[in-house]
Structure 1
């Protein structure tokens, strides 16, 4: 999964997150429907922007949804996914651009592609993707020849590039390809007046994607002796960053001239997420949801904290509210934390279990105070089935692994304990720098929690 627009789930509202996943799954299913199962490997974060832009201009997103069946990458859940011309155009563009990426790796002799048999097989796959993308693009009125031509010219441009060559000369083929793809979304949406500003936004997006990919691969390419535009042209870090920042600003200005019917998701992805992608590539951002970030700023936000510990926790043995705490054992006859009150029913209570321990009165069952209706003798928490045995747990473990639920599901049932657990990727913030206490009212982002908006819309 490649791409530079990777929004953190904490920065998207529930509605926008659902929409983003609808376009991502729609791209994947469009690839499968038109080109077979193997084509789904080219699903990428940037390709879905084509589908997003098409729906944002037409404003008929709800009419272009269907319910897809369970998928391992969704934790075996169904979902509403995008369909129609936008998703198919995204699939066509993704195939051609993935072909370009494969050919680039072949030219750079990366990894296994150093071996001639592997490189030959990769060339055949890339050529097949070119033909498949051309077929789908042709049915949508989009001539993928401009993309294929850009792919072919990229190799020639890299061959003649050297110290002093402007980076924009190296990124020109990618800019031309993405400009054509962005502009065609205006045709699909029936708004030809949007073609010019979208072409400009696409051109700058192509430049940004090419440069950020080079920044992320620069050290590895230098170690492996692979070609990298930054290393080859001798561009400085400051110059590369300036070009990236200029591209981000240019995209923002170009989108102001686009007539959107529903701009929210497109605005979040192309205005708010692109600056974060630049910061992520250059290593100038931190995640607000990691412990290191939280602890590093705890004292800054609370200089008078008497405990000097993260989250305001007191030292061991001290009451968090001082000696006059109304909840302490010496005051009002109440017990300390973690202990159940005693003698709620008086000293003659015949069922000591009814006040938090021991047995429960016969037939009491669930009384609305936390009982599970099991008579108090069940060793398992309420609403949790007994653990599985060794063999049954192993079978469940294999099933969870094969369906990717342990990684991709937001919540799954433990194979042996049956306890609810979160997927390994459920809390991935993707190096975001967001907070959760403000809404971007200035750009109507549906409460995307982007406190560093910085937009003038």
Structure 2
């Protein structure tokens, strides 16, 4: 299961939310992928895409639910889940399929998967891209510009030395059609004065911004489109740079492309950009009047603070406290990893590749290999107990016990936490 955002069970309790809401959205997305695109498509489940379903519900004020049949990931229990045909879930399935296709192609091109699985993975990626187009058509989303933007990403990464000479008109004409090519965000990123790193992250930001903006369209809240487009633009940069920081050492060791190394950007400089994007995203969410919605805080704002905190701790930067139920996604020190000795694999081996192709992600492989969320009801309590509260007293201006102040990681004090 791909994804950056991992909401904390303690945060759910703080906001008065049932921690099972995360599972409600996750299972709804998984079943939406199965019902609309077949069993294999469930392997594309992207935890970040849950934010799209959540944002759609937060703006529309409605949350359609259905009772799902027993599943191994729930200990063979039934559960209330988001309906597979709801607009938010359909948008999340589109994002999962499109991003998974791009991610798998990237891994295949980089040689990160066993030679035996490259052919099947490439075929799966092609199929998922086609399924994403079909899913997007059902919800009125023009996905072709987003597919083109991902093509622009490949073009930019293949010629990093020429990034400074890439101009908006030539790149746009070849890869990004109107009307997105004329968007203020894209034109600014591709302007002659733009730095190379900004150009490298622009395609990812473009995709995220349009997905975020479409949540307002589906929720019939046109006044929120611009604000959520801005939030998505910033989220795209956070996701791209966080991944670049996480993979920095491995990419250099294996001679793989890394946007920071390619543009001469240091990790502390990348972290400063992450903080800027986090602040801008929060401002955009507030402009859409969503910053006080508990589910938005729990599933989007707090997890982003957690990401920044973990990355900051790895480079010696003091950042805001936030509860974290996960091991460090960047491979940096974390209390859970120190206690258990658990470390993520540095690259997917043949077992992980076959699991992806065969759909083993749907029957527990990914969840049980990634100790960040409960696989079953029995694991839920253990997950909550492993939620660490570190760095209390450093959160914004609350100046006390951050685990009880109620504002940790999402306060509106104007700082970057």
Distance 2:21 2:227 in 1: 24
Q: Deviations over 1:341-386 (max 9, x none)?
A: xxxxxxxxxxxxxxxxxxxxxxxxxxxxxxxxxxxxxxxxxxxxxx
Distance 2:405 2:293 in 1: 13
Distance 2:94 2:290 in 1: 23
* CA apart distance, 1:120: 3.0
How do residues 25-174 of structure 1 correspond to structure 2 at under 5 angstroms?
25-61=27-63, 64-83=64-83, 84-112=86-114, 115=115, 118-162=117-161, 166-174=196-204
Q: Which has the higher helix share?
A: 2
Distance 1:248 1:169 in 2: 19
The structure-2 alpha-carbon separation of the partners of 1:452 and 1:176, relative to structure 1 and needing over 3 Å to count, comes to closer
Q: Which residue of 2 aligns with 1:444?
A: none
Secondary structure of 1:81's counterpart equals strand
Q: Which residue of 2 aligns with 1:455?
A: 412
* CA apart distance, 1:277: 0.9
- Does the 8 A contact of 1:59 with 1:261 survive in 2? no
Q: Deviations over 1:238-259 (max 9, x none)?
A: 2100110001000000011114
> Structure 2: any 5+ residue segments left out of the alignment?
165-194, 328-333, 337-362, 399-403
* CA apart distance, 1:15: 2.2
- Does the 8 A contact of 1:50 with 1:185 survive in 2? yes
The structure-2 alpha-carbon separation of the partners of 1:188 and 1:76, relative to structure 1 and needing over 3 Å to count, comes to same
The structure-2 alpha-carbon separation of the partners of 1:146 and 1:128, relative to structure 1 and needing over 3 Å to count, comes to same
How do residues 6-405 of structure 1 correspond to structure 2 at under 5 angstroms?
6-13=6-13, 15-61=17-63, 64-83=64-83, 84-112=86-114, 115=115, 118-162=117-161, 166-260=196-290, 263-284=293-314
Q: Which residue of 1 aligns with 2:344?
A: none
* CA apart distance, 1:452: 4.6
Tell me the number of residue pairs that the alignment of Structure 1 and Structure 2 aligns. 328
Distance 1:18 1:152 in 2: 37
Q: Deviations over 1:270-308 (max 9, x none)?
A: 322212112223445887899x979xxxxxxxxxxxxxx
- Does the 8 A contact of 1:57 with 1:262 survive in 2? no
Distance 1:146 1:125 in 2: 21
Secondary structure of 1:111's counterpart equals coil
Distance 2:381 2:290 in 1: 36
Distance 1:175 1:242 in 2: 17
- Does the 8 A contact of 1:251 with 1:270 survive in 2? no
Distance 1:401 1:148 in 2: 30
Which of structures 1 and 2 has the bigger CA Rg? 1
Q: Which residue of 1 aligns with 2:341?
A: none
Q: Deviations over 1:16-61 (max 9, x none)?
A: 4222221111111111110111111111210111100000000012
- Does the 8 A contact of 1:146 with 1:180 survive in 2? no
* Higher deviation after alignment, 256-265 or 194-203: 256-265
The structure-2 alpha-carbon separation of the partners of 1:58 and 1:423, relative to structure 1 and needing over 3 Å to count, comes to closer
The structure-2 alpha-carbon separation of the partners of 1:82 and 1:232, relative to structure 1 and needing over 3 Å to count, comes to same
- Does the 8 A contact of 1:56 with 1:262 survive in 2? no
* CA apart distance, 1:236: 0.7
Distance 2:241 2:310 in 1: 13
Distance 1:260 1:208 in 2: 19
Give the TM-score, by structure 2 length: 0.70
The structure-2 alpha-carbon separation of the partners of 1:230 and 1:288, relative to structure 1 and needing over 3 Å to count, comes to closer
Runs of 4+ in structure 1 off by over 6 angstroms are: 285-290, 404-407
**Structure 1 residue aligned with 2:378, among 401, 405, 411?**
411
Secondary structure of 1:451's counterpart equals coil
Distance 2:75 2:273 in 1: 40
* CA apart distance, 1:92: 0.8
Distance 1:401 1:98 in 2: 18
Give the TM-score, by structure 1 length: 0.65
Secondary structure of 2:246's counterpart equals helix
Distance 2:20 2:94 in 1: 23
The structure-2 alpha-carbon separation of the partners of 1:98 and 1:293, relative to structure 1 and needing over 3 Å to count, comes to closer
Distance 1:263 1:173 in 2: 29
**Please, what is the CA RMSD of the aligned residues?**
3.4
- Does the 8 A contact of 2:228 with 2:288 survive in 1? yes
Distance 2:300 2:412 in 1: 12
